[in-house]
Structures are given as C-alpha cells and as structure tokens.
Amino acid sequence: MNQPSPKSVARRLLELIRFSHTVFALPFALLACVWASVVPLPASETLEHDVAQAQVSLAAVEQTGSFGGQLSSGQIGLRALGVLLCMVSARSAAMAFNRLVDARFDAGNPRTAARHLVSGELTRGQAWGFFAAMVLMFFLACTLFLPNWLPLAGALPVLLWICGYSLAKRFTSAVHLWLGVALALSPICAWIAMRGEVLLIVPGDVWPAVGLAMAIACWVAGFDIIYACQDAAFDRQAGLHSLPARLGVLGALRVAAGLHALMLVVLAALPSLFPQLSLGIIYWMGLAIVAALVVRQHAMIRPRGAEGEGEGDVGLSDAERRATLRRATLKPGELDLGRINEAFFQINALLSFCLSIVAAIDAVWR
C-alpha cells in the first residue's frame, strides 16, 4: 500500500480541522488589535497614580515605548503577527483534539462517518502529532509579546478551556455557551497581547474588548445551537447533552434566536458604553447589515411546517402539547441540512468580516 505524500497528509490535516472556519473568530481578534492600537492609553498622570496605589513598576510600560502614547509601528506589527499565530495554532490544536476525542461518536453518526480519522485517511498518531505541534507553536507565539508576560501566563488556561469544549457535551447542555466563550476569548486575548503592560496598572483598560466578547459569545453560542440541530436525534440516542437533544429542534432554534437578539443589543450598546472607540455612522451602517444577516440566517433554517406542527395532538392539554413540541425531532426534509451549512459558514463568515471591518474603519477614521 502506497504511503500518502507529506503534501497529501498536510492537506488532510487542514481538512480535518476545517481550517477555513478560522474566519469566524480571527477578524474579531484583529479588530481588537486595531482598537488596542488606536484607542488612547490612559494619561501619564493616571498611570502614575495607579502605579503608586498598586506598587507596580512602570519598567514594562517604558520598555514598550507606550507610556503616555501608542506602540510603535514595529511593535504593533510584531504583536499583531503574534496574535495571528496564536489564533491559528490554538484553534488548530482545539479542532484536532475535538476530532480525536470525538472519533467514536463521529463513527456512529451518519453525518460525520466520513471524517478523516473514522475513514482511515489519517491515523490517530498523525492527528496527535499535529496537535502537539500546534500546542508548541501556540506557546512559542506567546513569547513574541515579551516583555508583556500576560499572554504567556494565560496560555495554558486558555488552551485548556478551548480544548475542554470537546468534552463538555458529555456532561452539560451549556456546551454551546462554552464554545461561545472560547471564541469570545479572542478579542480579550488580543487586547491583552497589545496592551498587557497597561493592564497591569489599569485593569479596566480591557473593558472594550470584554464588551465585544460578550456579543461574540452570544453570536457563537447561537449559531452552534443551529448547527447542532442536525444531530439532535443522534445526540439524544448517544446520551450527549446538546441543547437540540434536550429541548428539541424547535425549542433550540428559539434559544438561538434569543441569543442572537441579545448579541445585537450588546453591539448596539458598545458606542455608548465605550466612547473611546469613536464608533459612529459607519459602525451603525455595518450593524444594520449584521442585523439583516441574522434575520436572513434564521429565515433560512426555519423548519418547514413548523407553524402548523402540533395541530394533530387532539386530546392533549396545552402543557402536554408544549412538552411534545419541545422534545420533537424533525423528520428528514423538514430541516434542510444544506441550508444549515450555508447559514453556518457563509452568513457567519460574512457577518464576522462585515462587523470587524466597519468597526475597525470607524475607530481608525477618528
């Protein structure tokens, strides 16, 4: 039997981790880099006061040349490169871990039975080797931020959290929110990478990134619920705790819609909560497009016949009928899987790029 070439193995590894899906979180990390680069740092007097109170040395801030001003172009470029490498490596490690620990479930699920580890296109040894390489790359990338040591100190907890998502479905229906928080860490970590020295002195400096992260957590949790609707019946049979398995597809879609509505509320509040971001008309135009994309997404995946479902439940009380609908598993054809994939990838990738670009432009065009 011929051994696959290194090029073929590399291609399969990229397919294994769905490398193209990096576009979901990466734009928000880069947006946080832009914000952190252009938002004015606290005034020197504020820094000196807080340092005196906290007994923190200004040495780290002075080494970056950012005291009372901004990072130099070279420092911004190096740290942005570090953020890019950290994002790619951390996500790749988490996805490889997911495929490894979920291989048994993937083999039993018709939708995922053709994945590389199940079909034998890749060996577990190759996947573990790739995982180890990505973990090493992640930690090495964190050294690019030195003397800002915060990213390196937080590297292990962040990696444990994003890899822990792969195990969460085994014990909690909050697995979708777990993933939301995992991706929401991207702007917070990027902000810390760019301005960690200042955070040691003024911890509240990170709040704009936290606000963006809250919106991302709601957005990701919502679209992960939508994506999980494809596997509601399998998850229930396998004892996995996805929200569609617990509430039924219709109930899960309602929760997803509520999370996406909350995302829009948080995004609409950012200009008022954080005036230092200077978000104006361009941001509001982009937010209108994002809202339209969210509405489009939910219109696309609304199950056919959902409005009339339950009309035949004659003799059931209202409470029993509602419970039946919550547990309902849609029949084949009632939920178009092709449209779920389109809603999951195309619309969410467009949403991510649109919001990040307009928010970055508005912040830079001060």
Residue 28's nearest CA partner among 359, 362, 320 is 359
Identity (one letter) of the amino acid at 197? E
Is the predicted pLDDT of residue 82 greater than 70, yes or no?
yes
**Alpha-carbon distance 16 to 183, whole Å?**
19
Contacts of 145 (CB under 8 A, 6+ apart): 79, 82, 151, 152, 193, 196
Tell me what the pLDDT averaged over the chain comes to. 83
pLDDT digits (tens, 9 = 90+) for 235-262: 999 999 999 999 998 899 999 999 999 9
Contact 87, 80 (CB under 8 A): no
Q: Point out the least confidently predicted range of 103-112, 116-125, 252-261, 339-348.
A: 339-348
**Alpha-carbon distance 223 to 122, whole Å?**
29
Confidence of residue 135 (pLDDT cuts 50, 70, 90): very high
Identity (one letter) of the amino acid at 248? G
Mean local confidence (pLDDT), 68-96: 86
Question: What secondary structure letter does DSSP report for 347?
Answer: I
Higher pLDDT, 357 or 318: 357
What is the pLDDT at residue 74?
82
Is the predicted pLDDT of residue 40 greater than 60, yes or no?
yes
Is the predicted pLDDT of residue 327 greater than 50, yes or no?
no
What is the pLDDT at residue 309?
44
Backbone φ and ψ of 131, nearest 5°: -60, -45
Q: Cα–chain-centroid distance for residue 315?
A: 45
Is the predicted pLDDT of residue 67 greater than 50, yes or no?
no
- Give CA torsion, residues 213, 215, 220, 225, to 10 deg: 140
Q: Output the six-digit token pair for 159.
A: 């990696």
Contact 360, 34 (CB under 8 A): yes
Is the predicted pLDDT of residue 55 greater than 60, yes or no?
no
Is the predicted pLDDT of residue 44 greater than 90, yes or no?
no
What is the pLDDT at residue 305?
52
- CATH class given for the domain over 19-39+144-304+322-364: mainly alpha
Backbone φ and ψ of 258, nearest 5°: -65, -40
Mean local confidence (pLDDT), 5-22: 80
Q: Output the six-digit token pair for 251.
A: 């109930």
State the pTM of this model.
0.84
Backbone φ and ψ of 354, nearest 5°: -60, -50
Is the predicted pLDDT of residue 127 greater than 80, yes or no?
yes
Question: What secondary structure letter does DSSP report for 39?
Answer: S
Residue 117's nearest CA partner among 228, 20, 214, 13 is 13
Confidence of residue 65 (pLDDT cuts 50, 70, 90): very low
Contact 259, 188 (CB under 8 A): no
Confidence of residue 343 (pLDDT cuts 50, 70, 90): low
Higher pLDDT, 320 or 8: 8
Mean local confidence (pLDDT), 182-200: 93
